[in-house]
Amino acid sequence: MQRIAESTSDVDELLSAAGKVIRRAVPAEGWCGFTLDPDMLVKTAGVHEAGLSPALFGHLATLEYRPGDSTRFVDLARTGRPAAILTDHRSSERFHEILKPSGYAHELRMVLLDQARAWGGFVFLREPASPPFTQTDSRFVTSLGRVLARGVRRSLLRSQTGAGSLSASPGLLLLDEGYQIVSMSAGTETLLAELVERGATQPLLPAVVYALAAAVSETAGSAPMAVRVPTRTRRWATFHAWRLDGPVRVGVSIGSRHSDKAGEAVLENHGLSPRERQITELVLRGRSTAQMADSLYLSPHTVRDHLKSIFAKTGVRSRHELVAVLLKP
């Protein structure tokens, strides 16, 4: 698994390869893997192979963000719990309304945690004729979570830096309480086409739209939310969602993520602190340790400590490797 996590630059290929390896030790008839925005804890992209029907994505998203159900990803991420088996079937709406109608009886979830932040997750499903998942299964996937979290972060860094943004023309979606489209602006459909999830039958909307819509609708006192999403054409899109009153329940805008700083979007996704991002920008400009210390009013020793942390988080060993990765065409 370490080799897969370190060598795979495409995040979908990483999730797909990891899912296949895990299922050799933990057999499952259905599964999916996906990325999470570590700040908003909403699903941004992923792969589906023998998973759930896209027609269920909207209702599943609602249950994920409505308090009360068991083993929600938001709860696992916030409590730092890397894996969980769904055992409370009688009181789980997700089991009765999603899993059972889809032909599944058992569910194992894992969340990819590193440095107390969630970068993705997996769901493994078994049919009624298969045995339930065990604590041995849970411990096995837990042992892989951190290396896969770092692999996801590294893949986002390598595959998205320098790839460009979407066209300047934004898109706008208005959704009803069932997250069905009430209206959309011209060109929005083209933007959405870049968010098709690999291996999934084309849903009406990408999963990130359902996740954001459910998060702002079901979270009490929720403010507008925004996430950055890697697209199928190796570019970045920014989604904003806000709750509305009346028949139109949610507004979602889709647009380009602009930045004058090289690689900033990916660096944020890679878990760098604001100070570490400042130092990375100075590395890209060729500044020496002494020059960085002077411009940031830090000691050279503090700058070197920050550089060590940057190297560890981005999976490189030197300034040269950092620049090569960030500015790779």
Position 223 confidence tier, pLDDT thresholds 50, 70, 90: confident
Give the per-residue pLDDT at 303. Answer: 94
Question: Are residue 145 and residue 177 in the same domain, yes or no?
Answer: no
Is the residue at 118 inside a domain?
yes
* pLDDT band at 262; cut points 50, 70, 90: very low
Segment 159-165 mean pLDDT: 52
**Domain edge (last residue) among 207, 230, 256:** 256
- Do 150 and 104 lie in a common domain? yes
Question: Does one domain contain both 37 and 115?
Answer: yes
The pLDDT of residue 1 is above 80: no
Q: What is the pLDDT at residue 259?
A: 41
Given a cut of 70, is residue 168 above it in pLDDT?
A: no
Angle between helices 300-314 and 289-296 (to 10 degrees): 110
Within-domain flag for 263: no
Q: Note whether residue 120 is domain-resident.
A: yes
Calculate mean pLDDT across residues 291-304.
90
Tens digit of each residue's pLDDT (9 = 90 or more) over 94-121 = 999 999 999 999 999 999 998 888 999 9
The average pLDDT across 219-224 equals 69
Reading the block at residue 86, the tokens are: 């769904």
The confidence score (pLDDT) of residue 186 equals 83
Which segment of 39-53, 80-94, 149-163, 213-227 scores lowest on mean pLDDT? 149-163
Does the residue 266 lie in any domain? no
pLDDT of residue 126: 96
Q: How far apart are CA 207 and CA 225, in angstroms?
A: 15
Share of the chain above pLDDT 70, in %: 82
260 confidence band (pLDDT: 50, 70, 90): very low
- My answer on whether 9 and 53 are in the same domain is yes
Lowest model confidence (mean pLDDT) among 20-24, 40-44, 270-274, 316-320: 270-274
Q: What is the amino acid identity at position 121?
A: G
Same domain flag for 147 and 186 = no
Instruction: Tell me what pLDDT residue 193 has.
Output: 77
Per-residue pLDDT tens for 51-74?
687 788 889 999 998 888 989 999
Count the alpha carbons within 13 Å of 33 in the hemisphere toward its beta carbon: 21
Tell me whether residue 268 is exposed, middle or buried, using C-beta atoms within 10 angstroms of its C-beta: 0 to 12, 13 to 18, 19 or more.
Answer: middle
Please tell me whether residues 95 and 244 are part of one structural domain.
no
Q: Is residue 66 domain-resident?
A: yes
More confident residue, 67 or 201: 67
Tell whether 27 and 54 lie within a shared domain.
yes
Q: pTM for the complete prediction?
A: 0.74
CATH number of the domain at 286, please: 1.10.10.10
* Of 90, 88, 54, 59, nearest in space to 71 by CA: 88
Domain boundary among 256, 284, 310: 256
Give me the CATH number covering residue 201.
3.30.450
Residue 150 lies in a domain: yes
Across 191-195, 239-243, 296-300, least confident range? 191-195
Give the C-alpha distances (Å, rounded to integers) separating 55 from 58, 97, 138, 197, 219: 7, 12, 29, 14, 22
Who wins on pLDDT, 50 or 84? Answer: 84
271-295 per-position pLDDT tens digit: 778 888 888 878 766 678 988 898 8
Q: How far is CA 299 from CA 154, 263, 304, 306, in A?
A: 29, 25, 9, 11
For 198, the token pair is 């690999």
Q: Is the pLDDT of residue 7 over 80?
A: no
Contact between 214 and 179 (Cβ < 8 Å): yes
Whether 94 and 224 map to the same domain: the answer is no
Report the CATH number at residue 44. 3.30.450.40
Tell me whether residue 101 is in a domain. Answer: yes
Tell me: pLDDT of 202 over 60. Answer: no
Count of the separate structural domains present in the chain: 3
My answer on whether 289 and 207 are in the same domain is: no
Give yes or no: residues 307 and 252 share one domain. Answer: no
Are 126 and 234 in the same domain? no
Structural domain containing residue 306: 272-326
Among 160, 191, 224, the domain-final residue is: 160
- % the chain with pLDDT above 90: 35
How high is the pLDDT of residue 261? 38
pLDDT of residue 159 exceeding 60, the answer is no
Q: Please, what's the b/e burial string for 47-64 (b: 16 or more CB within 10 A of its CB; e: otherwise)?
A: bbbebbebebbbbbbbbb
In a domain, 90, yes or no: yes
Q: Is residue 154 located within the same domain as residue 176?
A: no
